[in-house]
Amino acid sequence: MSLLHQIALTFIPGVGAVNSRLLLKHFGSAEDVFKAKKPQLLAIPGIGEKTAQSILQHDFFKQAEKELTFIEKYKIQTFFYSSDEYPKRLRNCYDAPVLLYYKGNADLNNSRVVSIVGTRNATPYGKELTDSLVEELKKHNVLVVSGLAYGIDAMAHKACLKQDIKTVGVVGHGLDRIYPSQHRSLAEKMVRNGGLLTEFPSGTTPSRENFPMRNRIVAGMSDATIIVEASLTGGALITAELANSYNRDVFSFPGNIKQEFSAGCNYLIKTNRASLITSAKDLEYILGWVTENRQEEKKQLSLSLNLSSDEKKIVTILIEKNQAGIDELAIETQIPQSKLAITILGLEMQGILIALPGKVYKLA
């Protein structure tokens, strides 16, 4: 596919992430979108007269050519939503951007990805929690995502660099600048051990409306979002709400009920929008993460149990994958759905596996 056409698609006025994907689903490629006739465009829900006219005029190809020159000059990677490199977790979100700009060396499809976010006005308590959490996460080979903002975000990135954990900052502007500018040195280090990611082309300034858009990428590309400290207003609670809307796990550290920057965390916990955690061990338990030693213990335990052949198939897959959905288990085991459900229930009754939200299962 032509990268120029892919970039141009993102410059069409009135066509956001959702409509771009509708166009691509209908026509098959960015090039074919621009080859379409007006009646074909108007037949697509959400594409009105004004938008169709914009597509037909091709006024934004000069912008796309300028952006293509920029990314080639600075060796910036682009990930179209259909490419293998595109974050697969984010792709499943209905409003995921169709094109991402990336500078770095981290695998955005790492087996474990968590986002750590919080207030810009972090307290010593928040810094202590962040440092401790990141240190405990090191053994799990995680990719840590945040927003490169002041406070908890920057603390999380810095803690990752200290622990040699890859960390990606999602920014609300183009990659021709760093905001805040005080984080330029931090950003340079992250590019060498993680990366910077954005949906915004060069020349895009860090406008207020860009940050909620940035937050949806932070939430969407992660298995879980962790709120360290947060007030009742601000980006951290927006990120938590977005993660919930994507059916992702959200965790929050509790705080002093009289502290402003714990109020948001306590609210998330109180309203069941986040699970309470006090350390990375809580994440390990809820997400079903295990270390190599624990994995070996579970493997040995499963081998010693008196299981049927179908039960052994399921347990073997869960040992390998840590957790799996019922559709994945059906495909991998080739057990009919009706029989599979009964077999899973039997394993649950024996205390061998437990059910997670969304018909996902893991070993107990």
Read out DSSP for 45-101? TT--HHHHHHHHHTTTHHHHHHHHHHHHHTT-EEEETTSTTS-HHHHTSTT--SEEE
User: Average pLDDT in the 61-74 region?
Assistant: 95
Where is average pLDDT lowest: 11-15, 97-101, 113-117, 238-242?
11-15
Alpha-carbon distance 169 to 179, whole Å?
11
Where is average pLDDT lowest: 67-81, 109-123, 193-207, 334-348?
334-348
Alpha-carbon distance 333 to 210, whole Å?
44
The string of pLDDT tens digits covering residues 5-61 is: 999 999 988 788 888 988 998 899 999 988 889 889 888 887 888 888 888 887 788
Average pLDDT across the chain, whole number: 91
253 contacts 278 by C-beta, under 8 angstroms: yes
The string of pLDDT tens digits covering residues 193-240 is: 999 999 999 999 999 999 999 999 999 999 999 999 999 988 999 999
250 contacts 225 by C-beta, under 8 angstroms: yes
DSSP H or E segment with residue 102: strand 99-104
Beta bridge partners of 104: 195
User: Average pLDDT in the 324-344 region?
Assistant: 88
198 contacts 100 by C-beta, under 8 angstroms: yes
Question: How would you classify residue 288: left for phi > 0, otherwise alpha for psi between -120 and 50, otherwise beta?
Answer: left
329 contacts 358 by C-beta, under 8 angstroms: no
Comparing 58 with 146, the larger pLDDT belongs to: 146
Given a cut of 50, whether residue 150 has pLDDT beyond it is yes
Q: Residues of the chain with pLDDT > 90: what percent?
A: 64
Given a cut of 50, whether residue 124 has pLDDT beyond it is yes
Question: Residue 292: pLDDT band by 50, 70, 90 thresholds?
Answer: very low
Q: Residues of the chain with pLDDT > 70: what percent?
A: 95
